[in-house]
Amino acid sequence: MLHRPAQPAGAGGVPPRHVAVIMDGNRRWAEQRGLPTAMGHRAGAEAVRRTIEAAISHGVPWLTLFAFSSENWSRPKEEVQELTGLLRHYLRAEVAQLDREGVRLRVIGERQRFGTDTLADIEAAEARTRGNVRLNLTVALSYGARSEIVAAARAAMRSGIAPEALDEASFARHLYTAGQPDPDLIIRTSGEQRLSNFLLWQAAYAELAFPPVLWPDFGPDHFAACLADFAARERRFGARAG
């Protein structure tokens, strides 16, 4: 659904309800240091841990991380294998810590493209953390916003809803993110200033931040700076300024 307040308002120092992050820069981080690409992805996994901790410490209840796009399947086979292997390791090694910290994990995207072992790890992690409420962590894997919208349109048609009865709310119920609030703030690291097919429907009223830091170097201070910038903005949601 599109989440809008009744009255236009600034953030007023209140932390965003939902922060989404496009984690960009792992390969460049490794290249700058003369390291294999795999080392950049491993360093990026450490930044994931820091960001989860930062979201919890700032009282942000929803965090979405863009970890693997549908376009990433076209990368070199060795890099894809490293990414999927790192994913499986993270799911197995970190799920206990996520559970202890009260983090609920959800995965969105075309998960059927992963192997059966990875699918089993995803489902086990989601099941183990399902009752947690401290932080709702969504990880986008094999995700592309355009394909999500097409899949939602197909699902809406299969549901039998009449075309004249289809509105934003009923359509959004068929998205991967059904039941979740839209992001208030989207952060993209590395200084690149584009959404790259990420949460295109859900980002309709999101504030955007583009810190010029590669993802493996992203830390609590960068997260806090993005929240401070968000708090200083006036969010009008299409309404005129007062």
Q: Which residues are annotated as a binding site for substrate?
A: 25-29, 41, 69-71, 73, 75, 188, 194-196
Position of tokens 């609590």? Answer: 220
What residues form the annotated binding site for Mg(2+)? Answer: 24, 207
Closest CA to 137 of 71, 91, 174: 91
Residue 4 amino acid letter: R
In the numeric block, which tokens belong to residue 18? Answer: 């939902």
Determine the Cα–Cα distance for residues 75 and 41; give it in Å rounded to an integer: 14
**Which stretches of the chain are DSSP H helices?**
26-32, 37-57, 77-100, 116-129, 145-158, 168-172, 220-232
Neighbours of 212 (CB within 10 A): 10
Active-site residue set: 24, 72
Determine the Cα–Cα distance for residues 150 and 201; give it in Å rounded to an integer: 11
Helix (H/G/I), strand (E/B), else coil: 162: coil
In the numeric block, which tokens belong to residue 90? Answer: 């993270």
Position of tokens 């792992």? Answer: 26
